[in-house]
């Protein structure tokens, strides 16, 4: 008999499911600002990532140089210079070939998007100045959920259907397509191929057998 789940286990499962849907929604997020607003509405964690808007504005100034347009809101700049690059790194981690590459990718997310992103403009990887930042404050839910990806690296999948709108998925089971609807075109193509090759041979054999039978009737 199965042991009843304890409230602790139940809470962990709910949190895990929440993380799975958070990560897959973020990885599949489009560039459309409306989709991004919906993402922020659906996941409270997406609103509390604690990146300082002035810091992001500073990055924009550095990267855009003379093309920098000052009139844009903090939200627009956060989307362009923090959330979208984070989504790209998450996608790269998702599709990385093995667990080790994925762990390195997640560490890079933690350092580039949460540690320095939160604290300072200083980024001198070859000096020890960065060690100062290792006295961290408690993580935001956004950071927690991204780091929980470490436990899910064996579940990452990328849908083989080239027309899939949400190709990034997490699943315990190894599968080729994210869902049945995405597998359908390939199944139909395989059926068609079978019908045109093996099937047509079979039909020809059947015709031959039939005509032999008919022929024998008059023997
Ligand atoms: Zn799909």
Mind listing the pLDDT tens digit for each residue in 49-94? Answer: 677 888 889 889 999 999 999 899 998 898 898 899 999 999 999 9
Question: Do 36 and 111 fall within a single domain?
Answer: yes
Question: pLDDT per residue over 165-190, tens digit each?
Answer: 999 999 998 899 999 999 998 888 88
Question: Do 167 and 188 fall within a single domain?
Answer: no
Distance 81 CA to ligand 1 centre (A): 28
Distance 58 CA to ligand 1 centre (A): 38
Q: How far apart, in whole angstroms, are the C-alpha atoms of residue 189 and residue 87?
A: 33
Question: Do 50 and 83 fall within a single domain?
Answer: yes
pTM here is: 0.74
Domain assignment present for residue 168? The answer is yes
Q: How far apart, in whole angstroms, are the C-alpha atoms of residue 197 and residue 146?
A: 48
Question: Do 146 and 132 fall within a single domain?
Answer: yes
Question: Do 80 and 169 fall within a single domain?
Answer: yes
Q: Can you give the residue range of the structural domain that contains 190? A: 180-219
Question: Do 209 and 164 fall within a single domain?
Answer: no
Sign for the CA dihedral angle at 90, 92, 96, 101 comes to negative
Domain assignment present for residue 2? The answer is no
Question: Do 50 and 80 fall within a single domain?
Answer: yes
Q: How far apart, in whole angstroms, are the C-alpha atoms of residue 45 and residue 109?
A: 16
Question: Do 59 and 117 fall within a single domain?
Answer: yes
Question: Do 190 and 168 fall within a single domain?
Answer: no
Question: Do 169 and 199 fall within a single domain?
Answer: no
Burial letters 165-199, b for 16+ CB under 10 A, else e: eebbbbeeeeeebbeeebbeeeeeeeeeeeeeeee
Q: How many domains does the chain have?
A: 2
Distance 54 CA to ligand 1 centre (A): 38
Mean pLDDT for the stretch of residues 182-204? 82
Instruction: Mean pLDDT check: name the lowest of 18-27, 31-40, 106-115, 191-200.
Output: 191-200
Question: Do 95 and 193 fall within a single domain?
Answer: no
Question: Do 60 and 90 fall within a single domain?
Answer: yes
Neighbours of ion ligand 1 (CB under 5 A): 159, 161, 164, 178, 182
Domain assignment present for residue 122? The answer is yes
Question: Is the CB of residue 185 less than 8 Å from the CB of residue 176?
Answer: no
């Amino acid at each position: 008999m199965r042991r009843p789940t304890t409230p602790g286990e139940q809470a962990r499962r709910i949190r895990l499911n929440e993380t799975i849907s958070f990560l897959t929604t973020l990885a599949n997020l489009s560039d459309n600002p409306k989709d991004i607003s919906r993402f922020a509405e659906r996941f409270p964690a997406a609103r509390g990532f604690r990146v300082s808007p002035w810091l992001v504005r500073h990055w924009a100034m550095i990267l855009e140089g003379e093309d920098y347009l000052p009139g844009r809101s903090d939200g627009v700049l956060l989307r362009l210079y923090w959330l979208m690059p984070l989504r790209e790194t998450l996608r790269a981690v998702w599709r990385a070939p093995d667990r080790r590459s994925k762990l390195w990718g997640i560490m890079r997310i933690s350092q580039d998007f949460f540690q320095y992103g939160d604290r300072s403009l200083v980024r001198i990887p070859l000096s020890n100045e960065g060690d100062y930042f290792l006295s961290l404050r408690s993580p935001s839910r956004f950071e927690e959920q991204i780091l929980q990806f470490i436990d899910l690296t064996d579940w990452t999948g990328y849908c083989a259907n080239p027309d899939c709108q949400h190709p990034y998925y997490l699943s315990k089971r190894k599968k080729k397509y994210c869902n049945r609807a995405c597998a359908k075109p390939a199944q139909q193509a395989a059926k068609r191929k079978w019908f045109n090759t093996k099937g047509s041979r079979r039909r020809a054999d059947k015709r031959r057998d039939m005509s032999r039978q008919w022929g024998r009737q008059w023997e």
